[in-house]
Amino acid sequence: MSLNLKKILGALILVIGLIFFFLSIANNNLNLALVSLTSTLIFWTIYSLFLDEFDIQIFSWIIFSAGFLLSLSIFFLYAVEEIPYPTGAIIFHANGIAAALGVSIFSLLPVIFLHQINSEKKSNNTNLEIDNTDANPKIKSDDWELATKEELQSGEFEVG
């Protein structure tokens, strides 16, 4: 199977799962939406591992995106309630807000771990290498000569 077809099928798995998720959320069925979301993630992971196309960076971003969508869904289903009187009034429920924030913070963890791993790799690659192979510098001009230790301690020389 060609590389493009593998990636297209993987993306198609995610898109179909996302469609089922949004259809379930539109029907106010969070349980079915959660089942479709997790089964899609599991199926995509197995597919990627089976075809040797699994990338931890992509997986981290997919987990973050899925968690963010889930937290938004929880927020709008359980934290926000419109009441009839006065017209257009909205009540916020602390339980729904707490659940949405909890899902959000846990969905951030894979991206934070990925960022930490990448920053450690960058810091290991930026170590300076100092080349001390030439202890005696070569002077290109004949007008200069190296000072001896006695001359350095006497202070009777000019620094060029």
pLDDT of 134 reads 55
pLDDT of 157 reads 64
Mention every residue, 6+ apart, whose C-beta is less than 8 A from residue 53.
6, 7, 10
Angle formed at CA 63 by CA 59 and CA 67, multiple of 5 degrees: 170
Please name which of 24, 44, 40 lies closest in space to residue 32, comparing C-alpha atoms: 24
Report the C-alpha dihedral over residues 151, 153, 158, 160, rounded to 10 degrees.
100
pLDDT tens across the length of the chain (160 residues): 677 888 899 999 999 999 999 999 999 999 999 999 999 999 999 999 999 889 899 999 999 999 999 999 999 999 999 888 888 889 999 999 999 999 999 999 999 999 998 888 887 776 545 555 555 656 566 676 777 777 777 777 666 5
pTM above 0.85, yes or no: no
**Does the bond joining 137 to the residue before it have cis omega, within 30 degrees of 0?**
no
pLDDT of 88 reads 81
Cα four-point dihedral sign 95, 101, 105, 108 = positive
